[in-house]
C-alpha cells in the first residue's frame, strides 16, 4: 500500500478507552514518519486538548482541531482558523437553552459555560482543559469568538437534536457528533475532510494516497475524502459501512496493527 499521509481521529480511534496512546502505536507512527509519511491527527478536541497527544506522538506534521475549524502545524503555528459568527453563536445558544442541555464554548486553554453541570467536571478531566463559569456567555462571545460549541447530554437527546438541527440552522453552521453524548457545532462548511484537503494542498500530498482512520460521524468527511479509509472495530455501523477496511478496536491498537500489516510490511 503506497501511502503519503496518514490521518486519524484521537478518541476511540488512536486512543485507548483510558485515553492513552500505547508505546506500540507511537513506535509505528514514528517509523512511518521516518519513511517520509506525513502524520496528521484530526480531532473534535480543541487545540490545547490535543497538544499533549501531539507531543506524545512526537512526529506529527500538522494537526486538525475542532472538527476542522482549526489547523495547526507541528510548531504550534496556526494555518487555518474559523470561528462562529456572533449571530450564529447566539442562535445556537438559544437552540441549546430551549432543550435544557449542558453546553460550553472555548477560548485558549479553557471552556466556558453559563450553568455548571456534572458534565463540566467530567469533561475537564477527559480534555485536560479548565472549565469556567461565565454568567454572560453571549457577551463573552463578542470578544472571545469560539470555533466550536459543545453540548453534552443523553445520546437519545443528542440524536434528536442533531436530526432537527438542519431545519433550525439550514447550512449556517456545521453540526456533528463524535461521542454518542456529544453534539458539536462549528462554523458553516467546516469538517475534517475539508481541513484535510487544505493540508493536502498546503503540504503537497495526494488525498488519493492518504490513509484515514475514524470511528464516528464527525470522521465521515475525512474518511470519504481519502483514497483508503479504515473504520475501527469499535466504530459506529454507519462509519464501518462507508470504509474500505475495518481494523481491530482502539483498545487492541487497531491503528498500529493495520499500519504494521498493510503499510510498514
Hey, what domains does the chain have and what are their CATH numbers?
Answer: 5-81+190-264 (3.40.50.1000), 86-187 (3.30.1240.10)
How high is the pLDDT of residue 233?
98
How high is the pLDDT of residue 265?
83
Residue 156: strand, helix, or coil: helix
Residues with pLDDT less than 70, the chain:
none
**Alpha carbon of 74 to those of 65, 209, 260: distances in Å?**
13, 21, 24
How high is the pLDDT of residue 161?
97
How high is the pLDDT of residue 1?
76
Please give the Cα distance from 67 to 84 (Å, whole number). 13
How high is the pLDDT of residue 130?
97
How high is the pLDDT of residue 119?
97
Amino acid at each position: 500500500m503506497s501511502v503519503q499521509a496518514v490521518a486519524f481521529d484521537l478518541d476511540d480511534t488512536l486512543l485507548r478507552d483510558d485515553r492513552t496512546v500505547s508505546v506500540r502505536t507511537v513506535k509505528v507512527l514514528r517509523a512511518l514518519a521516518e519513511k517520509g509519511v506525513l502524520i496528521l491527527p484530526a480531532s473534535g478536541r480543541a487545540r490545547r486538548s490535543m497538544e499533549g497527544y501531539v507531543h506524545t506522538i512526537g512526529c506529527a506534521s500538522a494537526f486538525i482541531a475542532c472538527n476542522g475549524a482549526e489547523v495547526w502545524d507541528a510548531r504550534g503555528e496556526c494555518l487555518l482558523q474559523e470561528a462562529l459568527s456572533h449571530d450564529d453563536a447566539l442562535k445556537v445558544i438559544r437552540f441549546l437553552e430551549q432543550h435544557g442541555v449542558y453546553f460550553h464554548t472555548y477560548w485558549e486553554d479553557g471552556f466556558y459555560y453559563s450553568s455548571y453541570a456534572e458534565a463540566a467536571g467530567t469533561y475537564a478531566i477527559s480534555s485536560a482543559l479548565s472549565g469556567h463559569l461565565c454568567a454572560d456567555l453571549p457577551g463573552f462571545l463578542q470578544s472571545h469568538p469560539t470555533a466550536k460549541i459543545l453540548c453534552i447530554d443523553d445520546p437519545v437527546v443528542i440524536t434528536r437534536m442533531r436530526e432537527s438541527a438542519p431545519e433550525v440552522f439550514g447550512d449556517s453552521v456545521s453540526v456533528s457528533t463524535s461521542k454518542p453524548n456529544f453534539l458539536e457545532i462549528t462554523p458553516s462548511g467546516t469538517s475534517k475532510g475539508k481541513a484535510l484537503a487544505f493540508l493536502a494542498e498546503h503540504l503537497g500530498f495526494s488525498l488519493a494516497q492518504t490513509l484515514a482512520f475514524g470511528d464516528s460521524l464527525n470522521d465521515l468527511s475525512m474518511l470519504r475524502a481519502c483514497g483508503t479509509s479504515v473504520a475501527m472495530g469499535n466504530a459506529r455501523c454507519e462509519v464501518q459501512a462507508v470504509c474500505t477496511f475495518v481494523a481491530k478496536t482502539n483498545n487492541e491498537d487497531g491503528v498500529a496493527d493495520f499500519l504494521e500489516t498493510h503499510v510498514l510490511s
